[in-house]
Structure 1
């Protein structure tokens, strides 16, 4: 009976062991949020208008909360400190944003519904990424404490 090889190819090991891989992966996960927070912070009227567009009132309060989450969450994840908190913040934010902005179940059939459905499930994938980031960080913390 043939057995499957149980270890990664060398090039995969090299990539996973490279000292910058974890940071770059975390940056890829949170980069859009970090950029979004910076853009909103530098264009406050547009940030408020975006919240009003989605029916969030008072729009200025929701814009400020969105900016805080989009900046603090990524900083926590990138710093490796309180990753669970940053991942939780962004995960809950992403779920609420997906339900608010991509309510495909309330749309008639057609291209707009198709696009909203895809965006909704892409957001669920991001939430899974945040859970995995928190799990990886917790696993690393437990190994350090042991």
Structure 2
């Protein structure tokens, strides 16, 4: 079950990271639309963070670091891309939905990091400290 949880939480980030590498022109256009210049830098930096963070979680290596990387990515996306507070009513509503979704995913990432640490200490919990 632990492997399935890690696959599910990383699927979104892996697909986005690989899309940034496979559809470079589309990704560059996405970066330019968000006023992120130079587009090539933000595109490849995003892909690196998405794929590296996913690697840590998927392969159960420093899960906390992968979760922190992906959470930071989502928080920065909220601040720089989904600025619902600066948008017209209809655009703000859509952006707010993205923000709420990002916050829910951050909660999942925090949960998976906590579970990873708990799982590491699980064998020693049953032995008790005297």
Residue 119 of structure 1 is matched in structure 2 by 98
Q: What does the per-residue CA deviation read over 1:77-127, in whole Å, with 9 as the maximum and x for residues that have no partner?
A: 011111011000000001111222221111232x32222111111111111
Alignment of 1:137 with 2:116, yes or no, is yes
Structure 1, unaligned stretches of length 5 or more?
1-20
What stretches of structure 1 move > 3 A for 4+ residues in a row? none
Residue 25 of structure 1 is matched in structure 2 by 5
* Aligned partner of residue 68 in structure 1, secondary structure: helix
How many residue pairs align between the two structures?
125
2:58 to 78, 82, 87: 78
Residue 87 of structure 1 is matched in structure 2 by 67
TM-score (norm 1): 0.79
* Aligned partner of residue 55 in structure 1, secondary structure: coil
User: Which is higher, the Rg of structure 1 or of structure 2?
Assistant: 1
Please say if residues 41 and 67 of structure 1, whose CA atoms lie closer than 8 Å, have aligned partners that are also in contact: yes
Structure 2, unaligned stretches of length 5 or more?
126-130
Residue 61 of structure 1 is matched in structure 2 by 41
Partner Cα separation in structure 2 for residue 106 and residue 44 of structure 1 = 28
2:15 to 15, 18, 35: 35
Alignment of 1:45 with 2:29, yes or no, is no
Q: Residues 145, 61 of structure 1: CA spacing in aligned structure 2 closer, same or farther, 3 A cutoff?
A: farther
* Aligned partner of residue 132 in structure 1, secondary structure: helix
Please say if residues 87 and 131 of structure 1, whose CA atoms lie closer than 8 Å, have aligned partners that are also in contact: yes
Residue 106 of structure 1 is matched in structure 2 by 86
